[in-house]
Amino acid sequence: MLIDGKKISQKVRNSLKPKIEELKEKGITPGLAVIMIGDNPASQVYVRMKEKAFKKLGLKSKSYKLPADTSQGEVVQLIDELNNNDEFHGILLQLPVPDHLDEMELLEKIDPHKDSDGIHPVSLGKMVLGIEAPLPCTPHGILKLLEYSNIETEGQHAVVIGRSNIVGKPIMNLLGQKTDYGNATVTLCHSRTKNIKDITKQADILISAVGRPEMVTADYVKEGVVVIDVGVNRVDAPNTEKGYKLVGDVDFDAVEKKARAITPVPGGVGPMTISMLIYNTVFLADKYSA
């Protein structure tokens, strides 16, 4: 089974429409402020996709594009202004930020009640404790992919490759919680894991989020595995119009033959991340609007 992130992300967006209409009837239009510093090409594409998705649902989205040499103090000042602006229910700091900026300090400056990305320390702390809060977009999107694909997680052995604060650690936590799409036994692998293939071959559900092109080959998995590929890697493809192509962390053609379900790249996890950003913004507008 091919897990189609485009179709599932559309279902998630459609499910939000009644709540959006309900809020609008109360005079509330969920709004997102996006802060983008510098001119990272991938970030520019992503921000345009976000704006388009918000507009299509009749939501408000505004991008604040700052020069690459913007100071820490200037970004903090903008965040403070947006924290106090009732027009926006969510604030997103587009990552990565330029090297001279303190990314963690900037994330902490965002009001947790406006944390549309779900990665503020307060939001992550609530997630670990099982308290309602906006969840990190990509891990939440993975849970939705499993849910809409009717893939059981309870009692399954889930193996996560990658320990980032944005994907690896949160999805490890969420899959292990006492929830409908938790109750899994979870193993976290990373760059220092020894004999990694011995571990990944035990996985009923394998999630790769390491950013290494086609690292996961057929000898990493057992027959009947469910594979969620979070990686998006640009590799040279001289014979194509663009001169490059996007591939995941998983060698799709080889692993697909052994998997009972797998996400493609592109078109798998990526579309879900934007849908969950919308989900979080609507959630925050509903929960914290005056």
Q: What is the pLDDT of residues 53-99, one digit of tens each?
A: 999 999 999 999 999 999 999 999 999 999 999 999 999 999 999 99
Q: Are residues 182 and 73 in the same domain?
A: no
Return the CATH number at 234.
Answer: 3.40.50.720
DSSP assignment of 226-237: EEEE---EEEE-
Q: For residue 249, is it within any domain? A: yes
Using DSSP's 3-state secondary structure scheme, residue 65 falls into: strand
Q: Residue 45: is its pLDDT beyond 90?
A: no
pLDDT given for residue 272 in this prediction: 97
Query: Please, are residues 231 and 262 in contact by the beta-carbon 8 Å criterion?
Result: no
How much is the mean pLDDT over the chain? 96
Per mean pLDDT, which range of 91-100, 235-244, 257-266 is the poorest?
A: 235-244
Q: Residue 265: is its pLDDT beyond 80?
A: yes
Domain that holds residue 38: 25-113
From residue 287, give the alpha-carbon distance in Å to each of 23, 30, 59.
Answer: 11, 11, 16
Q: How far apart are CA 273 and CA 168, in angstroms?
A: 14
pLDDT band at 239 (very low <50, low <70, confident <90, very high): confident
Q: Are residues 197 and 259 in the same domain?
A: yes
The arithmetic mean of pLDDT across residues 93-117, rounded, is 97
Q: How far apart are CA 155 and CA 82, in angstroms?
A: 43
Q: Are residues 153 and 108 in the same domain?
A: no
pLDDT given for residue 288 in this prediction: 94
Q: How far apart are CA 190 and CA 131, in angstroms?
A: 28
Q: For residue 288, is it within any domain? A: no
Q: Residue 243: is its pLDDT beyond 90?
A: no
Which pTM value belongs to this model?
0.94
pLDDT given for residue 290 in this prediction: 62
Q: Which residue has the tokens 């996890």?
A: 269
Catalytic residue list = 50, 94, 117
**Structural domains counted in the chain:** 2
How many degrees, rounded to 5, is the angle at CA 179 between CA 173 and CA 182? Answer: 50
From residue 150, give the alpha-carbon distance in Å to each of 14, 154, 226, 256, 290.
Answer: 18, 12, 12, 18, 37
**Residue-wise pLDDT tens digits, 6-40:** 999 999 999 999 999 999 999 999 999 999 999 98
Q: Are residues 97 and 156 in the same domain?
A: no
pLDDT given for residue 43 in this prediction: 84
Q: Are residues 58 and 172 in the same domain?
A: no
Q: Residue 289: is its pLDDT beyond 90?
A: no
**Residue-wise pLDDT tens digits, 190-238:** 999 999 999 999 999 999 999 999 999 999 999 999 999 999 988 888 8
pLDDT given for residue 42 in this prediction: 79
